[in-house]
Structure 1
Amino acid sequence: MHSSAIFLIEFGAIILGLGLLGRFAGRFQFSPIPLYLLAGLAFGTGGLLPLGASEEFVAIGAEIGVILLLLMLGLEYTASDLVSNLRTQYPAGLVDAALNALPGAAMALLLGWGPVAAVVLAGVTWISSSGVIAKVMGDLGRLGNRETPVILSILVLEDLAMAVYLPIVTALLAGVGLAAGSLTLAIALGVAGLVLFLAVRYGRIISRFVSSDDPEKLLLVVLGLTLLVAGIAQQLQVSAAVGAFLVGIALSGEVAEGAHNLLSPLRDLFAAVFFVFFGLHTDPSSIPPVLLPALALAVFTAGTKIATGYWAARRAGISAKGRWRAGGTLVARGEFSIVIAGLAVTAGIEPDLGPLATAYVLVLVVLGPLTARYTEPVATRLAARRRPAPATGASAPAAETLEPVDEGTTG
């Protein structure tokens, strides 16, 4: 009875604290993710007041948080959208991977962490935060901008790449051999391909089977199906997160919209628990030794993300201002980076990887909204300073009349 009371007190305090932190972040219009991570650092190993009774439950909640994050991400896209993005935007995805994954891998090798840690850190620096970026674009009123489809295409391609990347990382962390790893990847690709085929060909039938006018029944069926598929995927060493992502892709139309509305509060709750859980398993005293590499990596990969967005928007025919906005918006890292680092922390491959990933995400999840807001005006101001002033009484150069107009929010 006493331990049950302690559990309720601890877990209730966690949820209440997260709610207050979320309100604080909302008041100042920035992502609450860094506050959740800091809360975990404060109450975890080496923190101010380590938790005991509720840690096991928090661990289960964190796993559910990852599953719901990926499910909700899958609900955002239809299978046809994914296929279309693969066909038209894959060059931007390749540039994104090259510019942003390689710096993470190089940093891990420079620190002497070995090839497995290099693959993990490559994923940490590669994947942008879809949740933070979506919120920032909404807050800035840019959802109708010409560059927004370019940003979303890159995010979709990163999400698709996760379906291949996560099984590879899972196999590497498990220490399986080449044959077993190849089998795991083959299973993952086969399952992903099968789900995409079924979603394109029979998506309406699947959605009709899941559909219900009763919100309670819809919630139970979607959540139960997601957890079941995630469990089966994990049993096959594919990754529970990938299984949840594929379930989200398979659902479409009114079912996807209804499930999104019902599951959003659950997603927010358990995702917050996940970030706290990651912080709980990171000793604050382990961050200062890796703070300098984390800052260097954050600054460098902020630049490579800006370059990625600029190149992709230029390829799509967007004006210079829109290119800078696209690049600055992609800088934020968040949930995916922590998910990937969390796999490595659980496997125990490198004790400094978790602290470095925490510091890296903390820097970029704060810096990301700032680059989204200020990259374009700063770049425009610098370009204006470099441009020579026209002679008095002379007409403007002909080239300036051909400068493309700014693609701002339509309407």
Structure 2
Amino acid sequence: MHSTAIFLIEFGAIILGLGLLGRFAGRFQFSPIPLYLLAGLAFGKGGLLPLDTSEEFVAIGAEIGVILLLLMLGLEYTASDLVSNLKTQYPAGLVDAALNALPGAAMALLLGWGPVAAVVLAGVTWISSSGVIAKVLGDLGRLGNRETPVILSILVLEDLSMAVYLPIITALLAGTGLAAGSVTLAVALGAAGLVLLLAVRFGRHISRFVSSDDPEKLLLVVLGLTLLVAGLAQELQVSAAVGAFLVGIALSGEVAEGAHNLLAPLRDLFAAVFFVFFGLHTDPTTIPPVLLPALALAIVTALTKIGTGYWVARRAGISSGGRWRAGGTLVARGEFSIVIAGLAVTAGIEPSLGPLATAYVLILVILGPLAARYTEPVARRLTGHGGRPGPASGVWGEGVALPAEAREAVDDQDAVGRA
């Protein structure tokens, strides 16, 4: 009974603190994500007042937060939108991997950590944080922006590439043979392909099955289906986030709109818990020894992500302002980077890899929301041009599929212009 009371006190204090930090951030019009992370850092291992009783519940809430963030992103698109974006944006995935994975691999080799650690650190620096970026896009009101489909295309390609990368890195860390690693990889690719096929070909039937006029039933079915698919995906060595995203794109029409409205408050709650959990599991005493290499790597890969976003948006026909916004939005690293580093730490590959990855992600997860907000105005000031700022800047790129909400916004703007 006493432990239950302590749990309620701790978790209630966490939620109350998140609410106050969110209000503070809202008053000054910036994303609350850095404040959530710093709060977790203050009350985690080695912090001012470590929390113990509610830690396990917070961990589960954090996983649900990432799943809901990706589900809500998926609800913005239909299956046909996804296929169109993947067909037109796959070169962007190759450029993204080359520009952002190589600095991590080079840093590991310069530090003398060996080829396996180099492959691990390459993954840490390559993958942007879908969770952080999803929250930032919502906080800044950019879900309907013209560069957002390009950003989401890169995130989808990165998340799907994890279905290939994670089995490979797991086999390398475990030292398994080629045959065992090939089986693991084949299972992961097959599972990801099957889920994508079901979403693309049978999305209409899934929406009909889920549809309900009762908000309570709709909420329970959508949430249950999402968690089920995410869990199955994770069990098959595919990212739970990919599973949740594909559930989102499988739902369309009124079902997607109704699910979006019902799940938005839950997403905000559990997403905040995720960022706190990330900070809770970071020991501040491990950061200073690796701070300089982590900072150098963060600066380099922040610039390479901005370059990636700029190039991809330019290729899609987005105007200058949208290109800079796309690049700045992609800077944040987060959940996947920590997962990858955690695998290496568990395997005992390199003792310093974990603290360096943690410091690196902390820097970029704090810098990311700031880069998303200020890259465009800074670029315009430095270059002396870049177009009129704001959500309406730029043009939709050829072959970039728009979410229904964005299409309606463009139609409304066109109607106003014709009037």
Common fold by TM > 0.5: yes
Does 1:12 find its partner at 2:12?
yes
Moved more, 276-285 or 162-171: 162-171
| Whole-angstrom CA distance in 2 between matches of 1:180 and 1:88 | 34
Partner of 1:99: 99
| Whole-angstrom CA distance in 2 between matches of 1:230 and 1:141 | 27
| Whole-angstrom CA distance in 2 between matches of 1:175 and 1:67 | 30
| Whole-angstrom CA distance in 2 between matches of 1:184 and 1:75 | 30
Partner of 2:404: none
- 1:29-178 matches, cutoff 5 A: 29-130=29-130, 132-133=132-133, 146-170=146-170, 172=172, 176-178=176-178
TM-score normalised to the size of structure 2? 0.81
- 1:239-254 matches, cutoff 5 A: 239-254=239-254
Cα deviations by residue, 1:92-111 (Å, 9 ceiling, x for unpaired): 22111110122122223333
Moved more, 20-29 or 296-305: 20-29
* Conservation of the 8 A alpha-carbon contact between 1:167 and 1:239: no
Does 1:277 find its partner at 2:277?
yes
Q: How far off is 1:323 after superposition?
A: 3.4
Q: How far off is 1:300 after superposition?
A: 0.5
| Whole-angstrom CA distance in 1 between matches of 2:271 and 2:139 | 21
Cα deviations by residue, 1:262-294 (Å, 9 ceiling, x for unpaired): 222222222322222232222110011111111
| Whole-angstrom CA distance in 2 between matches of 1:220 and 1:368 | 33
**Counterpart of 1:356 in 2: which secondary structure?**
helix
Partner of 1:311: 311
One-letter amino acid matched to 2:160: L
| Whole-angstrom CA distance in 2 between matches of 1:404 and 1:344 | 42
One-letter amino acid matched to 2:312: A
| Whole-angstrom CA distance in 1 between matches of 2:346 and 2:266 | 24
| Whole-angstrom CA distance in 2 between matches of 1:76 and 1:160 | 18
One-letter amino acid matched to 1:194: L
Q: Label 1:204 to 1:141 Cα distance change in 2 as closer, same or farther (>3 A).
A: closer
One-letter amino acid matched to 1:42: A
Q: Label 1:135 to 1:244 Cα distance change in 2 as closer, same or farther (>3 A).
A: closer
Unaligned 5+ runs, structure 1: 385-402
One-letter amino acid matched to 2:61: G
* Conservation of the 8 A alpha-carbon contact between 1:65 and 1:267: yes
Unaligned 5+ runs, structure 2: 394-412, 414-419
**Counterpart of 1:23 in 2: which secondary structure?**
helix
One-letter amino acid matched to 1:264: A
| Whole-angstrom CA distance in 1 between matches of 2:348 and 2:257 | 39
- 1:399-410 matches, cutoff 5 A: 409=392
| Whole-angstrom CA distance in 1 between matches of 2:146 and 2:85 | 16
Cα deviations by residue, 1:297-346 (Å, 9 ceiling, x for unpaired): 11101111121122223323444454334333332334444454455556
Partner of 1:393: none
Partner of 1:21: 21
Does 1:258 find its partner at 2:258?
yes
Identical amino acids, percent of aligned pairs: 89
* Conservation of the 8 A alpha-carbon contact between 2:195 and 2:243: no
* Conservation of the 8 A alpha-carbon contact between 1:41 and 1:283: yes
Partner of 2:238: 238
TM-score normalised to the size of structure 1? 0.83
- For the aligned residue pairs, the C-alpha RMSD in angstroms reads 3.1
Q: How far off is 1:20 after superposition?
A: 1.8
Does 1:267 find its partner at 2:295?
no
Partner of 1:180: 180
* Conservation of the 8 A alpha-carbon contact between 2:199 and 2:246: no
* Conservation of the 8 A alpha-carbon contact between 1:37 and 1:358: no
| Whole-angstrom CA distance in 2 between matches of 1:228 and 1:110 | 43
Q: Label 1:69 to 1:329 Cα distance change in 2 as closer, same or farther (>3 A).
A: closer
* Conservation of the 8 A alpha-carbon contact between 2:130 and 2:155: yes
| Whole-angstrom CA distance in 2 between matches of 1:174 and 1:255 | 43
**Counterpart of 1:229 in 2: which secondary structure?**
helix
| Whole-angstrom CA distance in 1 between matches of 2:274 and 2:386 | 45
Partner of 1:198: 198
Q: Label 1:339 to 1:77 Cα distance change in 2 as closer, same or farther (>3 A).
A: farther
Partner of 2:229: 229
Q: How far off is 1:16 after superposition?
A: 1.6
Number of residue equivalences: 393
Q: Label 1:247 to 1:136 Cα distance change in 2 as closer, same or farther (>3 A).
A: closer
**Counterpart of 1:31 in 2: which secondary structure?**
coil
Moved more, 281-290 or 349-358: 349-358
| Whole-angstrom CA distance in 2 between matches of 1:369 and 1:11 | 26
Moved more, 188-197 or 322-331: 322-331
Q: Label 1:10 to 1:177 Cα distance change in 2 as closer, same or farther (>3 A).
A: farther
Q: How far off is 1:22 after superposition?
A: 2.1
| Whole-angstrom CA distance in 2 between matches of 1:166 and 1:255 | 33
Q: Label 1:70 to 1:318 Cα distance change in 2 as closer, same or farther (>3 A).
A: closer
Q: Label 1:98 to 1:383 Cα distance change in 2 as closer, same or farther (>3 A).
A: same
Larger Rg, first or second structure (1 or 2):
1
Cα deviations by residue, 1:69-92 (Å, 9 ceiling, x for unpaired): 333333333322221112111112
| Whole-angstrom CA distance in 2 between matches of 1:220 and 1:314 | 41
Q: Label 1:33 to 1:246 Cα distance change in 2 as closer, same or farther (>3 A).
A: same
One-letter amino acid matched to 2:267: R
